[in-house]
Every structure is written in C-alpha cells, then in structure tokens.
Amino acid sequence: MQYRAIGLMSGSSLDGLDIVYAELDDSGGKWNYEIKAAACIAYTSEWQTKLQHAVSLNAYEFLLLHTAYGRWIGEQVNEFIAANHLHHKVQLIASHGHTVFHAPQLHMTAQLGDGATIAAVTGINTVSDLRSMDVALGGQGAPIVPMGEKLLLKDYTYCLNIGGIANISCNDSNGDIAFDVCPANRVLNMLSAREGKQFDDGGSMAREGAVNRALLTQLNNLDYYKQPYPKSLANDFGTHIIFPLIESFQLATADALRTYMEHITQQLVYAVNSLRQTSPAEQTSKLLVTGGGAFNTFLVERITDALKPFNIEVVIPNSDLINYKEALIMALLGVLRWREEDTVMNSVTGATRSSIGGAVWIGQEA
C-alpha cells in the first residue's frame, strides 16, 4: 500500500523547519520511500528568539506560543503544497514540533506546535505529539527515529545523525539500540557565532585550531557520559552546561571548535564501542551519517579516521537524505500511527513496552 505524507521536523540547532513530501510504500512488510519534494524554511530572527526563550515563559505564554507556532507551521505547509503543486495529493501530515522541555525522568516531554491548529489551517489530517506515550511508559522518548531507520535504512548497521544533538542507532540481529551521544551542532554554532558566523563551514576554523587537553578531559568526564543507555539529552545540556564550561577556558575560537570536535569524535567512538559489546563484531559494517554535521568535512574526516580500527565504513548519502532524513521519518511515523502500529521501540527508549505514539487530529472535512 502506498501513502503520500508530509513530515515536519524542527531540530535543536534552530536553523529552520524541515518539510518533506514523500511517497511511502509497504509491500508485504518491506518499506520503500521516495522523497518527492523537500524544503527547509529558515527561521526569522524573531522566531529563533521565540523558540530559544520558550523555556522561560509562564504557562499561559507558552500555550499561546504553542498555538501560534502551530499556525505558522500550518501556513508554511500550505505554501509548500502550493509551490510544489501538491493540492489534493497529501493524505497526512506528521509534525514532530520543536522540543522545549524534555525530562523523561519526570515522565514529561513537551514540543511546541499545536497539532490541532496545523490540521485546522491545512485541512489535512495531522499526527503530532509523537514522544509523549513512550515517556508516559517510562521511556526516554528519544531518539525517536530508530523505528524509521529500521524500516527504511536497513542496509546500515549504524545510523548517526549529527544535528543540534548527535544520536546513534544500531540495528543488528540482537535488537535495536539507540541513544543521544552528545550535543553537537548547537554548541559548534554557538562557538562560531563568536566570529559572526552561523556555523563553521566545512570545519575550516576548527581545522586551524589545537586541542586543549584540559578542557577535553573535563568535557569527557561529565556525568551524562557515564550513564548507561537508554538515555537522552535535553537541549540545555549543551547550552547551559557544556557551552559555559568551554567559555570558562577563554580559548581562541579555532581552539574551542577543534577541542569540541574532538570531544564529539571521542564520544562517538565510546558509543560505538559500547554498542559492539552487545553483539559480535561484523567483518565490515556501515555507518550512515546525516544531519548538518555531515557537511562538516573536518568532523567527518576525524570520525572516519577514528572508526577505522572498528572496520566501519562511513557513508555520506545524497544531500536530500542528509538534510531531511528526520523529516522523512516523521512522515513514516505518522503513517504508522495512522495504521495503529508501533512507532517507538522500548529496546531503544527503555519504556515498559513498545508503543503507538502520536495524537491524531482530523483536519479533513467528513
């Protein structure tokens, strides 16, 4: 059976709203996909500020932003549909929303972007609030993409997404495991902003820097890295703990970037090593790299070199998959929710059971 769905993703790097229109085909339990159209709607400085400071709003202001952001999302979807001549083609919208609060230890997670408003503005059935059921069942609610990776990207043993937060998943015969590795682009972009740049293009600034061993040691000794998986990170780990720690060393920007890239690389090596303890090492395995960090040439070089002893081939896919893998998977999760099939695996999140996550809002007139 074929489904035509739009997936929406807003990551912690705050660069914009990713939109994918995809055709998803289930043939006897084997899923295939084709991205037919995609776009990233850059946030204005006003929206960046609103989303960045949402954590400090009172309850009334937060809910007003929740609906306002949902209306903005719905308007962007309508414009995307018009620009790509998709009228009467889209069967379903699945929106991740923008994560503001994530405290799974307290059974709570919150994403901005009211699904009812998106459905009302677009007139299209919408799935939202994809994490809450898993968190209510005692899970981390994150990473949320492994089910999609399992169904759509089964040729890869490991999938690494380097976004605002880097996360990794492992799909092998002994089960599926995934977890957040460390903050990534959000911290790198904050450091690049010192030089008036949105990001370190290709890692060129970091390439000229030197690793500060004292800072690297302190970063690697942070408590999160000692925790076993399942585990996940809130955005404020990068912005309120790691970034101030880096700033306290008063390093030149190039040195700070170089040191933090080494931290990302080392934490990834530790993550892969821990995953390999759960199953026999394959002769050669593949690691798919997506997210904005896949364009960071220097970071990819460091990761590739660091993983050579594990006989892991690092694969950089086409730009559509790099940029829009998570939005694509949101579309799939929306379809699975519509079919009332599991969207989250408890082997990944640590919940008491796997679950069907997402609230359904009927935007289509009866």
Nearest Cα neighbor of 17 from 296, 327, 292, 233 is: 327
| 2-140+327-361 and 147-321 have identical folds | yes
Structure tokens at 292: 């904005």
Nearest Cα neighbor of 242 from 294, 317, 166, 168 is: 166
Around Cβ 14, how many Cβ atoms within 10 Å?
Answer: 18
pLDDT score recorded for residue 71: 98
- Cα–Cα distances in Å, from 121 out to 43, 75, 194, 327, 364? 19, 7, 39, 20, 10
pLDDT score recorded for residue 282: 58
Tell me how far apart the alpha carbons of residues 317 and 308 are, in angstroms, rounded to a whole number. Answer: 19
pLDDT score recorded for residue 192: 97
Residues sharing a CB contact under 8 Å with residue 121, sequence separation 6 or more, in sequence order: 70, 71, 74, 75, 77, 78
Per-domain boundaries in the chain: 2-140+327-361, 147-321
pLDDT score recorded for residue 176: 85
Contact predicate 336/112, CB 8 Å: no
Tell me how far apart the alpha carbons of residues 195 and 125 are, in angstroms, rounded to a whole number. Answer: 44
Residue 160: strand, helix, or coil? strand
Contact predicate 152/176, CB 8 Å: no
pLDDT score recorded for residue 88: 95
What confidence tens digit (pLDDT) does each residue in 76-101 have?
A: 999 999 999 999 999 999 999 999 99
Q: Which CATH superfamily is domain 147-321 in?
A: ATPase, nucleotide binding domain (3.30.420.40)
Amino acid letter, 328: L
Q: What are the residues facing 139 on neighbouring strands?
A: none
> Per the confidence metrics, is the pTM higher than 0.85?
yes
What confidence tens digit (pLDDT) does each residue in 110-133 have?
A: 999 999 999 999 999 999 999 999
Calculate the CA 84 to chain-centre distance. Answer: 25
CATH 3.40.30.10 fits 2-140+327-361, yes or no: no
Residues of the chain with pLDDT under 50: none
> To which residue do tokens 């307290």 refer?
106
Q: What are the residues facing 151 on neighbouring strands?
A: none
> To which residue do tokens 């705050």 refer?
14
Q: What percent of the chain has pLDDT over 70?
A: 97
Contact predicate 210/255, CB 8 Å: yes
Instruction: Return mean pLDDT, the chain.
Output: 95
